[in-house]
Structures are given as structure tokens and as C-alpha cells.
Structure 1
Amino acid sequence: MMRLEHLNLVVNDLAETLSFYQAAFPHWKVRGGGEGEWHGVLRKWIHFGDDYNYLSFNDNGKGLMRPVEGYDLGLAHFAYVVSDLQSLIQRLTLAGFEIAIQGGKDVNYDSVYYMDPNGYEVEFVEYLTDIPSERNQYS
């Protein structure tokens, strides 16, 4: 078995970042954190998630995020499967975040994209079928 356990993201501000992800994932918690030096820079870090998956946030990011609409190397977006997309949209709206892109929608799935406070593009998709061949249509 193989699965993705975590993403390690450099961010600007831990509290601001948490405001987005706590609204998206109210069942997740801060698992731990600390301070340390990373390549000569003092950083605070936290792990936010559940017992099996998490996001690692490291503060004091510098520079600009690559333009997500461009073709520069780097992360374009990452995605989460959710069981109730409308509830997620409602939570993020109440927390002050707006949909950046209305994603695909058909009889098998619905999706939206948000920009987190650091400029990471995050997709949320709700599959409306449990049949893999219906979920994974590329035509």
C-alpha cells in the first residue's frame, strides 16, 4: 500500500493560514508544532490534520507564489475529495473566503477551487458516484 501522508507548505502567517484550513476541515486539529532553523532561517511550524493525513505549515515564507494561470514550474494545485461540497462552500464563505474558480460539474462530480491566504490553489471535489469508471471519465 502507498498513500500520500502530508504536504509540507511554506506560508506567510500560521494563524491566517489556519483560518482557511480550519474552515475547510473542521474535524482536523493542530497535531503539534515547534520552532527550528531551516537552512539558516528561524521558523515556526505546525502539523494540521487528523491521525492519518496532515498539512505541515512553516512560517516566514518569502517571495511570490508562481502564477497559477501560467506555465512556470511549481505546484499548480492540490485537491481534496469531500463528501458534501455545499457545506464546505458554506463554511469557507462564512470564514470570508470566496470561490476562485467554479470547477467541473456533471452527473458524476462537482468541484470548486479556492486560493488559500498564501496563494496556493486548492481544489475540492465531491464525487456523485462510487463507480470508478464513472468518476474517471476523460472525454
Structure 2
Amino acid sequence: MSAYVEHANITIKQLENTIHFLQTAIPEFEIRKQGQGDHYRWCHLGTENSYIALQEVVEREESNRTPYLDIGINHIGIVIDSVSETRARLIDAGYQENELGADHPWRKRIYFFDKDGIEWEFIEYLSDDPAQRNDYSL
């Protein structure tokens, strides 16, 4: 068996907002299970093979985190079938695109922010060859 990431667990502000964002981007993502802990609500959203574990934050005034400078997640990358279709769905739903991402012969990437300001990267690979998919020369 090859190792792979089964899930990532992130804390978000409101479950419904993040569920809506991810299901807009990736309609095949389903709620695997959700519930209520002692102090927070949670949800596992994804496919039968992998998922994003979402946990609502315990309310406080501010988070004091600057992406790419402070410790924490900068973005989460998810492989998708079509960058253009995903971009259209997210823009139609009013989500903000981050203009990161350089052209590459073997992949397309887009970056969007959800309502909590969490950045998500969506990648469409244009090759099945691992050497091309993982090319960092450009």
C-alpha cells in the first residue's frame, strides 16, 4: 500500500459556510458524518477515501494569524477534474479568487478564499506521468 493523506483537520468559523464553499467547488464531496462535541460542532466532508475534518472554532475576538508568516495552514490543495468549471462555480457563488498560480505545461491551479478567509488551492493535472505532474523546473 502507498501512503496517502486520508484527512486534514481544520478549525473554521462556521460549518455551513465551509461546507457550502467546498461543495460548490467539488459537488461530489459529501458529508460523511457530523456531530456536536462538548464545546464545538464538527463535520467530515469528502469522499469514501479522503475528507476534510471541519471543527467550528470556539468564539473569540480575533485570531492574530497572518497567512504565510505565522504558524498554521496557508492553503489546502485538492486535485479536481476541471479548473475552469470549478472557477466558474466559485465565482458564480461569490467567492474571491486569489490571483496566485503560474502557468505550467502539466497542471493548472487556482486559489480561492472561503468566507473565513481560508485559502484553498484546486489543481487540475494535464498529465498522468508522475515526472511531469511533479515537475518543479518552471
TM-score by length of 1: 0.87
Question: What is the distance in 2 between the residues matched to 1:36 and 1:135?
Answer: 40
Question: How many residues are matched?
Answer: 134
Residue of structure 2 in register with 1:71 after alignment: 69
**Percent sequence identity over matched residues?**
31
- Of the three residues 43, 46, 49, the one matched with 1:52 is 49
Unpaired runs of 5+ residues, structure 2, are: none
For residues 14-53 of structure 1, the aligned pairs below 5 Å read: 14-37=15-38, 42-53=39-50
Question: SS of the residue aligned with 1:99?
Answer: strand
Question: What is the distance in 1 between the residues matched to 2:74 and 2:52?
Answer: 17
Unpaired runs of 5+ residues, structure 1, are: none
Distance of aligned partners of 1:109 and 1:65 in 2 relative to their CA distance in 1, 3 Å threshold: farther
RMSD: 1.6
Question: SS of the residue aligned with 2:101?
Answer: strand
Distance of aligned partners of 1:65 and 1:52 in 2 relative to their CA distance in 1, 3 Å threshold: farther
Q: State which drifts further: 58-67 or 122-131.
A: 58-67
